[in-house]
């Protein structure tokens, strides 16, 4: 009898402990800690669900493949449409059926099978020298980067970087493979130097007079403005939104997906729904100078000062379809060499 009683008591104690242990969610993230931890703390305060995070600079898809069904990952946070599609193509994620997410995220910015969802937007801009060029005309388009007048005046990072691959993919979607290849050849001929560095390095090159135009994401301007060592770079350029009288400015995303074998599926969905809500979207916008993907959420004051722009309404699913073709064209024109 005593043994049975002891067993019953232990079982009673174990049940609430198991319930408490279940109140957690595990996140694999490419996004930097300072960007997401404030949101996770707010989520925990609201729900009582603890968020455990593993940060990485690369290799999350490979890690998930290695772990297989034993992976502790519930939610994956990543940057760039190509990485989201990679997770889907490798069958490392699962669909999420959520009316909350669907109402917060426009159809253009989520997978048509509900396997990934955008969280923030970043535009692919052209920066121009304030001193030597000034603000670019309202009808400036990406196609203009291949015009002879810009020969030796353009700086960019590697064409093989995901940000540029996505831009080239969108050009293929709009203009076709042959025309995009001709465009790439023209842009390559106009480069001031071999592609190198990151987006901020291109703006620095404009400041130093190495080139007059630089291709870069919008949020880097916010980062430079708020960095004492880089503020002078930002002050040397204008930010321009190409395509305003055509298809619009190309946009890319940061996003999320639920891991295929998520052990805390319900909590994972709660976190994903929270990240698409107004509070989290506002926090993203303020911290990283990105554009909220949820309509009606206020931009940060700095981002708002750059002005409104028309974004290309091309579905990100469509853009992703041409990624392999974009890489092939970049290789054919030897863009990085």
Report the SS3 class of residue 236.
coil
Q: How confident is the model at residue 22 (pLDDT cuts 50, 70, 90)?
A: low
Q: Which two tokens stand for residue 2?
A: 């005593």
Residues 289 and 286: their CA atoms lie apart, in Å, by 6
Percent with pLDDT over 90 in the chain: 83
Q: What is the pLDDT of residues 306-322, one digit of tens each?
A: 999 999 999 888 898 99
The residue that leads in pLDDT, 248 or 79, is: 248
Confirm or reject CATH 3.40.190.10 for domain 25-121+251-298, answering yes or no.
yes
Q: Which helix (H) or strand (E) holds 119?
A: strand 117-129
Looking at residue 20, its pLDDT comes to 43
The whole-number pLDDT of residue 15 equals 43
Name the DSSP class of 229: T
Question: Binding site membership for Fe cation: which residues?
Answer: 219-220
Segment 74-99 shows an average pLDDT of 93
The CB density around residue 63, as the number of other CB atoms within 10 Å, is 16
Q: What is the mean pLDDT of residues 70-87?
A: 92
pLDDT score of 115 more than 50: yes
Relative to beta strand 75-79, strand 251-259 is antiparallel
Judged against a pLDDT cut of 50, whether residue 1 lies above it is answered with no
pLDDT band for position 82 (50/70/90)?
A: confident
What residues does each domain of the chain span?
25-121+251-298, 124-250+310-332
pLDDT tens column, 179-217: 999 999 999 999 999 999 999 999 999 999 999 999 999
CATH assignment of 124-250+310-332, given 3.40.1280.10, 3.40.50.620, 1.10.10.10, 3.40.190.10?
3.40.190.10
Are residues 216 and 86 in contact, defined by beta-carbon separation less than 8 angstroms?
Answer: no
Do 25-121+251-298 and 124-250+310-332 have matching folds? yes
Query: 16 pLDDT exceeds 50?
Result: no
Half-sphere exposure of 264 (CA within 13 A, CB side): 24
Q: Which residues contact 279 (CB under 8 A, 6 or more apart)?
A: 42
Binding residues: 219-220
Radius of gyration of the chain (CA): 23
What is the C-alpha to C-alpha distance for residues 310 and 67, in angstroms, rounded to an integer? Answer: 42
Q: Can you tell me whether residue 251 is helix, strand or coil?
A: strand
pTM for this predicted structure = 0.87
Q: 3-class SS at 241?
A: coil
Average pLDDT value over all residues in the chain: 92
- Please answer whether residues 29 and 55 qualify as being in contact, where contact means their C-beta atoms are separated by less than 8 angstroms: yes
Give 191's DSSP letter: B
Residue 10 has a pLDDT of: 44
């Amino acid at each position: 009898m005593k043994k049975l009683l002891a067993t019953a008591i232990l079982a009673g104690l174990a049940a609430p402990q198991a319930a408490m242990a279940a109140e957690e969610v595990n996140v694999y993230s490419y996004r930097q800690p300072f960007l997401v931890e404030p949101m996770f703390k707010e989520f925990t305060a609201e729900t009582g669900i603890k968020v455990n995070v593993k940060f990485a600079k690369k290799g999350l898809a490979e890690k998930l493949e290695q772990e297989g069904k034993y992976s502790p990952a519930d939610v994956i946070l990543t940057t760039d449409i190509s990485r989201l599609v990679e997770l889907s193509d490798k069958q490392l994620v699962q669909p999420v059926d959520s009316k909350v997410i669907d109402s917060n995220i426009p159809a253009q910015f989520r997978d048509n099978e509900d396997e990934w969802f955008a969280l923030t937007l970043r535009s692919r801009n052209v920066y121009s020298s304030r001193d030597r060029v000034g603000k670019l005309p309202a009808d400036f388009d990406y196609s203009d980067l291949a015009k002879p007048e810009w020969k030796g005046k353009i700086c960019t990072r590697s064409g093989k970087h995901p940000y540029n691959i996505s831009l080239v993919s969108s050009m293929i979607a709009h203009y076709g493979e042959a025309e995009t290849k001709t465009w790439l050849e023209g842009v390559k001929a106009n480069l001031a130097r071999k592609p190198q560095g990151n987006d901020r390095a291109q703006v620095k090159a404009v400041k130093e007079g190495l080139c007059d135009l630089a291709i870069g994401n919008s949020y880097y301007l916010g980062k430079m403005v708020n960095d004492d060592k880089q503020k002078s770079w930002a002050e040397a350029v204008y930010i321009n939104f190409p395509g305003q009288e055509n298809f619009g400015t190309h946009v890319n995303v940061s996003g999320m997906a639920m891991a295929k074998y998520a052990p805390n599926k319900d909590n994972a969905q709660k976190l994903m729904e929270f990240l698409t809500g107004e509070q989290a979207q506002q926090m993203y916008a303020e911290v990283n100078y990105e554009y909220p993907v949820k309509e009606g959420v206020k931009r940060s004051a700095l981002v708002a000062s750059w002005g409104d722009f028309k974004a290309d309404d091309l579905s990100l699913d469509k853009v992703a379809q041409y990624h392999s073709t974009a890489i092939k064209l970049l290789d054919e024109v030897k863009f990085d060499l």
